[in-house]
A = this chain, B = another copy of it.
Amino acid sequence: MRISGTHYRTIWSTDSGAVRVIDQSRLPFELVTLDLETVADAAHAIRTMVVRGAPLIGATAAYGIALAARADPCDSHLAEAARTLQATRPTAVNLAWALRRMHNVLAELEPHRRADAAWHEAAAICDADVEQCRSIGRHGLDVMRALAAKAGARLNILTHCNAGWLACVDWGTALAPVYMAHDAGIPVHVWVDETRPRNQGAALTAFELGAHGVPHTVVADNLGGHLMQRGQVDMVIVGSDRTTAAGEVCNKVGTYLKALAAHDNGVPFYAALPLSTIDWSLEAGEAIPIEERSPQEVTHITGRSAAGRIETVRLVPESSPALNLAFDVTPARLVTGLITERGVCAASRAGLQRLYPDQPAAVE
């Protein structure tokens, strides 16, 4: 999508053979890119959330394997690289999906042919992600068009965290239909949950919506329920870091609370996700490993001071501990529908099987 009129993806390869990413830990205050030269660079970028968002984590991991293959394409080195990348973030299933896809391609090749093939495959994963997001956008646009007809003056959409183009390669999952609706002249307005503790909503979603000119308002995570009680939310749409074969949606912590409020107020609640986010091996959301991150993300926060400096300040008394679990699971019963690149389905095994009859459904 565009920033100040220039089209960007979140990740691309440079002529000099590096992998270049937007450093999302510096947004919204500084737009800078970072070059990844080694698999260690790629793992570090994922772990420190220079790149984040389930689809972009997968794309970065794929390029991480490509960087590894260029350094040394032997089996043991690639296996070690995959282990390093897999260990960065435990919840998003796209990471494992991308590593498996790279392995399937490279394992069949002679080592000397792997570097080029890996580079090609990583680029293909990125291009496919863009097309998947575009398809998600088109299917989500149909949903928004129907809701806008009912909503009247403007369509108020609440989103949590960042499932926009910054979370993917381009377009986004949850935000792809928002961009398309806006571009199609539907009067959309987005309530942006700030999404503590890392504030991906306040920093990234607000930034990318603003850069594209989509009307939006940032709110504390606490406000969404009250906005729904007041009738000021027509639809909730979020992304997903892992969705089980039964349609349970794992996403940024706090999503479950918004799904409860949506259900309590009769507001449609959608999750938008590509195939790579679906974990066919799991049925129950409780089985998904939930990442525990540093308590410092709760006790401290970073922003820009009046003097223009990027400063980190402490919010909590020195002696008070904090706990920082990054995701929660929204039960399928609270999800109105899943918006995927193949269409919209019920959040259920039957719904997903209808859209993906070609996928192995390991758990019955």
B-chain residues with CB within 8 Å of residue A317 when the two chains form the complex:
28, 203, 206-207, 210
Bound Cα distance A260, B225 (Å)? 10
Residues of B within 8 A of A298 (CB): 194, 202, 218-220
Please determine whether A261 and B257 come into contact, CB atoms closer than 8 angstroms: yes
Q: Number of A interface residues, CB 8 Å?
A: 62
User: Within the complex, what minimum Cβ distance (angstroms) separates A242 from chain B?
Assistant: 14
Within 8 A of B (CB), among A177-216: 192, 194-197, 199, 202-203, 206-207, 209-210, 216
From residue A244, how far is it (CB to closest CB) to chain B in Å? 14
Question: A319 at the A/B interface (Cβ < 8 Å)?
Answer: yes
Across the interface, A301 reaches (CB within 8 A) one of B216, B261, B313, namely B313
List 28 A-B pairs, Cβ < 8 Å: A202-B315, A206-B316, A209-B320, A210-B319, A217-B321, A217-B322, A218-B320, A218-B323, A219-B322, A219-B324, A220-B253, A220-B298, A220-B324, A221-B222, A221-B254, A222-B252, A222-B257, A223-B328, A226-B253, A226-B256, A226-B327, A257-B257, A300-B303, A302-B313, A304-B313, A305-B312, A305-B314, A311-B313
> Closest 4 interchain pairs by CB?
A222-B254, A303-B313, A226-B328, A206-B320
